[in-house]
Structure 1
């Protein structure tokens, strides 16, 4: 790889991309009665509080500024009624640099996943995926919008110099 490209990759990793090694994950499901304060439109079948999602614990591999930090990632499946665009949701999640240290993590991320992708995601997490890639906008001082995320079995070759 030419030196100029490697430098560009290093800078890109440092500014807007996290590479996370998955250490463990769980599928969570919670059903309970909605509190009276919950808006009607957020109640399931009129009076239930219903949440489900993937809970991933991992360790940041790159960029170097966050290497070895622990991260907890919560992935929420979204139904087809959720709309993305200029007047709607404009990111696929949020990265929090100030994590809840009571949970024992340094960073936290919340990601949105299309409900239709949930079954394949669980299958691949249990069999082949070992890394999460997260692209963020903003800076390290506030919750940052996540613009993209993906999973992989291996570290991509173009990231090996910055991840090792």
Structure 2
């Protein structure tokens, strides 16, 4: 752990995390926290995530105040000397933006599968069919879990609606 003087510490990082958490908490305050039929409203999960982000931002600020270094260690295998690789970055951005166009026509499980496989590819995975399968299993489990909680994520597989 390398100590750095206070002027070189990334104070913007915990500030951004706390600010994002506060934005989520503000938005969650506009939503219902509970519902008559399921006792879990649309704002509950947003509130939980907002509280978690504020707490993590505060914990990060404490670590920065203690002088924690954010340089990657040799065991992480990060290339800190070379430029950022644009291909994997754009792949991750495209994968996380995929729900904007896929959610309505393809449904949650298919969209989750594509997002999982795309992000895995951005991180260097070379097994796209395996990644799609893992994403599909996680998407199906999440869809059924949220349906069990009473949260509507849309139709399971809208592509079969016409058949």
- TM-score band, normalised by the shorter chain? under 0.3
Q: Which of structures 1 and 2 has the bigger CA Rg?
A: 2
- Normalising by the residue count of structure 2, what TM-score does the alignment of the two structures yield? 0.22
User: More helix per residue: 1 or 2?
Assistant: 2
